[in-house]
A and B are shown apart, each in its own frame.
Chain A
Amino acid sequence: MRNVLAILIPAGAFSRTEAETITAGKSLAAQLGADLSVGILGPSDDSFARECFAFGAKSLTRVEGLAAYQSEAYSAAAQQIAASVAADVILFPSTTYGLEIAPGVGYRLGAAVILDCVGLIGDSSGNLTITKPVYGGKANSELIARQGPVVIAMRMRSVAPGEKQDGATGEINTIPAPALSPRTQILEHTTEDTGSGPKLEDARVIISGGRGLGNKENFVHLEELARLLGGSVGASRAACDQGWVPATLQIGQTGKKVAPDLYLAVGISGASQHLVGIAGARHIVAINKDAKAPIFQVAALGVVDEWQALLPKLVVALTEHKARNS
């Protein structure tokens, strides 16, 4: 029988990231006929624990005295938790920290490691079927793990958080933080100023710009639209590489995975590596001067035009629409 463990690395209060990791673990555990344990790395409070139980954790392990993130301390703690619950399927979040420690933990546990997965199914004999997009999202690889320990990180926003059962409880264990002398230290953390809108991962509306925007200044047009619609500005890798917007706004395979109701792509060709990041978007709308741009293959609505001509008129039309409906 398999033992499933979901490792959480809280960045403050319980967030959608934790809900996704627990939900993935919970449904897998149910398919395998097992229970889900959760391991929390780093400081967390009782309301965090309540949320873990509400989303389906059966037991929970905290680490006493584990301070702010440090890769080696967190890796060692994850390994100790895994050993204490005899876990052989371990899920990590696909955050910077999660992706940093998951492979090393897997390596030391002698586990197969698969990151950035979008599908995870178990059966009653303990086999796992794992789906991982490859070739920049142009293909899916389906992998079967039959036996032995497995470390998995699900892609962000590929799991819809499950139903909550408020009031659910479970066992809470505490282990001491492992003693070691870390060889890395985080000296400073600066939050990138990404405008006034909500976090990209949570935004209902995203106005995104690509190489077609031509320069940094032109992003003000997208900011204006974002303000008008209560959304946030995102970008393609090409726009980030040019330094027009911070790299933290990059959406795609190696950027943010987003799931807005409206994703407006302006001057973005729609490379598969970009589309990977917007697979969860409800409605994609594209503005591109090239009718053959691949973005139109995934868009619900498209306008073939230069953004320079269209955007000013769009701002006017939206403002009028807002005035009519308020």
Chain B
Amino acid sequence: MLHLVVCLKQILDPEIPPADFKLDPSAQRAAPTASLVASIFDENALEIALQLREKVGDARITAISLGPPSAVDVLRKALSMRADDAILIREEDFPGIDAHGCARVLAAAIRKLPPADLILCGRETGDWHGGLVAAFLAAEFDRPYTNFVAGITKEGDHFHLRRQTEDGWEIVRSAAPAVITVTNDDHNLPRIPKVKDNMMAFRKQIPAWTASDLGLVPASVAGPNSKLEQSRLYVPVVDRKCEIITGDNAEAKARQLVERLAALQVI
């Protein structure tokens, strides 16, 4: 049986309009002005894990999240999309954790599970856009790492990963166990959970593992990124005036637009 582990992070809704975005008074992070959601690429990752399970039949999917108590909502959503198990890791136990620490904590949790054949993460989170944790996990486990995967098949004891590049697609054959990040394409839009699965997910127990459950001393997980000092977090000012083209009808607007484009010397 294949064991697929999907790592999901809960973040502030990244799609709020800029006008609603505010910084926390500490000026070290965003203020909680938006609802909390699963980071979108993590859901793409879960989606392709589900698709792989549908293809191979015999697979188990574990969703894990390192996060605050509210992150249990992300895990419930994962269960309602039909992940088999979900585990929360208490982020409060690891204050100020960096990307290295995150990878070490996730690795410690994954080591407690049945051996994982494939670990899937989103290509980057929708809040800090680090793009590091999956690669660090691969390094922790010394496993092959492939990024920007949009689809997977199992061929014998290898995975065939359909991976996006600048100008197209590659098929990467990867030995198992492996670690990948997932990017979006039209084949991995996260499915909408069914009502009955929502109810099932609601009843399911989700364990919350602590630092001591994982045998970790919080201070020892930090890595070199924790040495970086955030000297400033600020909202960049965009000061542009938009000239709205007016006209009685579409034709007049189109003519006016062409005139203005010609004046800008771009046509």
Interface residues of A (CB under 8 A from B): 11, 71-72, 95-97, 99-100, 103-104, 106-108, 110-116, 129-130, 132-136, 138-149, 182-192, 194, 199, 201, 205, 229, 237, 240-243, 247-248, 253-254, 256, 261-262, 271-273, 282-283, 285-286, 291, 294, 296-305, 309-310, 312-314, 316-318, 321
Contact = CB atoms under 8 A, between A and B. Distances in A.
Nearest to B98: A112
A191 B168 contact: yes
B205 interface: no
B203 interface: no
Interface string B226-251: 01111111111010101111000011
- B interface, over-half SS: mixed
Given A116-B131, A139-B233, A96 B242 contact: no
B236 to A, nearest CB: 5
A262 B267 CA distance: 8
Interface residues of B, number: 83
B189 interface: yes
A190 B169 contact: yes
Given A139-B235, A187-B172, A301-B261, A99 B228 contact: no
Interface stretch (B71-79, B110-118, B178-186, B206-214): B178-186
B224 A309 contact: no
Contacts of B255: 313, 317
B14 A184 contact: no
Q: Tell me which of A243, A248, A286 has the highest count of chain B C-beta atoms within 10 A of its own C-beta.
A: A248
A201 B166 CA distance: 10
A99 B131 contact: yes
Nearest to A228: B267
Q: Interface majority SS on A: helix, strand, loop or mixed?
A: mixed
B15 interface: yes
B253 A115 contact: no
B192 interface: no
B117 to A, nearest CB: 13
A199 to B, nearest CB: 8
B129 to A, nearest CB: 6
Interface string B162-199: 01111111111111001000011111010000000000
Given A273-B14, A317-B254, A134 B129 contact: yes
B53 to A, nearest CB: 22
Nearest to B136: A107
A53 to B, nearest CB: 25
26 contacts: A11-B166, A99-B148, A100-B146, A104-B139, A104-B145, A111-B224, A115-B129, A135-B128, A138-B21, A138-B30, A139-B236, A141-B128, A143-B229, A184-B178, A192-B168, A242-B186, A247-B184, A248-B166, A261-B266, A297-B240, A298-B240, A299-B240, A303-B245, A310-B250, A313-B254, A318-B258
B150 interface: yes
Interface stretch (B2-10, B62-70, B81-89, B119-127): B119-127
B38 interface: no
B76 to A, nearest CB: 24
Nearest first, the 9 A-B pairs at minimum CB distance are A243-B186, A103-B135, A313-B254, A262-B266, A183-B144, A309-B250, A142-B232, A183-B175, A192-B168
B166 A107 contact: no
A147 B230 CA distance: 14
B254 A297 contact: no
B147 A100 contact: yes
Contacts of B253: 303, 305, 310, 313
A144 B267 contact: no
B136 A103 contact: yes
B138 interface: yes
Most B Cβ at <10 Å: residue of A111, A129, A135, A302: A135
